Amino acid sequence: MTPVGVEAVAEEVLGAIRERGTYRRMRVLDGAQAPHMRVDGRDVLLFAGSNYLDLAHHPAVVEASIRASRELGCAAGGSRLITGNLALHEELEEDLAKFLGLEASLAFNTGYMANVGVIPALTDLGDVVLSDALSHASIIDGCRLSRADVRVFPHGDLDALEGMLREVASTHRRVLLAVDGVYSMDGDVAPLAEMIPLAKRWGAMVLLDDAHGIGTLGAAGRGSAEVCGVDLGGAGVDILVGTLGKSIGSFGAFVAGSHALRDLLVNTARSFIFSCALAPPQVAASRAAVSLVTSEPWRRQYLQDNARRLRDGLAAMGISTAPSTTHIVPVIVGDNARTMAICEALLERGFFAQGIRHPSVPEGTARLRITPMATHTGEEIDSLVAAIADEFARHPV
């Protein structure tokens, strides 16, 4: 067998990626995450991030991080089960549980690690996971690692879901429904008010990944479940997955639910057990930010007002943002090359609204994925709308 080097593998794979027009590179950003940043050397308005509530550089969040760094250092020093379980971690988890009205929570290093930890902890051979066709990659990979049977239903299709639940309820040991709350590329909210009672009727556990909903939606900021009138815990969501790196403005993630769930994860979730604990500065920053989510509700109100202004402004220009009802606002372009040409033209004009292509979205649905922040002004939103409309005219289909 002829040996194959890394360079040869890279040339073959990257060549195919370039040929189909989906080669990606990392942009370089300068400055704090905020409405105004420097991107690839240009001063721009940022409409591509997930710091939705503009808490990442909030003075209270920064000060909490500095204080923790000074007093506790910049590393936890080990995994949570050996030397890394600081009182600060436990305090954050108590804060999150109280904020969400749940019994307990457990911090993970990323949302991806949370899903690839919790799904295999709950399911195995002989079990089944039901998943929406547009589920996040971390749910997909968590399903693969679980070794459970996986059934995928069309996006938001309640009839298809009910048919699957009826089929698997008597043939599998455990049934888990795993869905996103807010879909990260479309900005629509899952039909949780109908979906969760349906799952419960057929004896399924419910995992809700609300990475984009926690902090941004609902009167109390409890996310898509709150908006849909669904309970967290009890007869509602059994397992809630959230992130600390989006609306919370820090880094990390969490799984929240019952005490039994937390204990199960501490003992079985490999991505938790075999990872170094979150660094103290990030944990302290998260605690400060969670407090601000509660004490400054105007942030999520301004965020949703800005998103509505953006959607309405684009609609007035004849540009659809369907199916979005949230702060993730897609503008479907379709063609990869046209999408990126509009993205680059907007960047030159001072707006960073990232173009998204396959495999992040299905082929033929390349789009601008626009994410306003709570602290963008109305005039900034309107200027982006005008620029997008202009570039659509300059780059016709």
Q: Which residues, 6+ apart, have CB-to-CB distance to 147 below 8 Å?
A: 120, 123, 124, 125
Give the position of tokens 């605690």.
287
The answer to whether residue 89 is catalytic is no
Between strands 128-132 and 175-180, the pairing is parallel
Residue pair 87/135 in contact (Cβ under 8 Å)? The answer is no
Listed residue (307, 306, 305, 290) closest to 256, CA to CA: 290
> Given 58, 89, 246, 327, which residue is catalytic?
246
Q: Which of 38, 12, 14 is nearest to 25 (CA)?
A: 14
- Is the alpha carbon torsion for 367, 213, 133, 323 positive or negative? negative
Active-site residue 200, yes or no?
no
- Note if 184 is an active site residue: yes
Catalytic residue among 105, 138, 146, 184: 184
Question: Which residue's structure tokens are 């991030």?
Answer: 49
Rounded distance between C-alpha atoms, residue 101 and residue 68, angstroms:
26
Of 316, 356, 350, residue with least CA distance to 333? 356
| CA–CA dist 129, 91 (Å, integer) | 32
Do the Cβ atoms of 62 and 54 come closer than 8 Å? no
DSSP codes joined into one string, 47-80: -S-S-TTS-TT-HHHHHHHHHHHHHH-S---SBT
The one catalytic residue in 58, 89, 172, 212 is: 212
Round to whole Å and give the CA distance between 215 and 25.
Answer: 30
Question: For residue 128, which amino acid is it?
Answer: V
The residues that are catalytic are 184, 212, 246
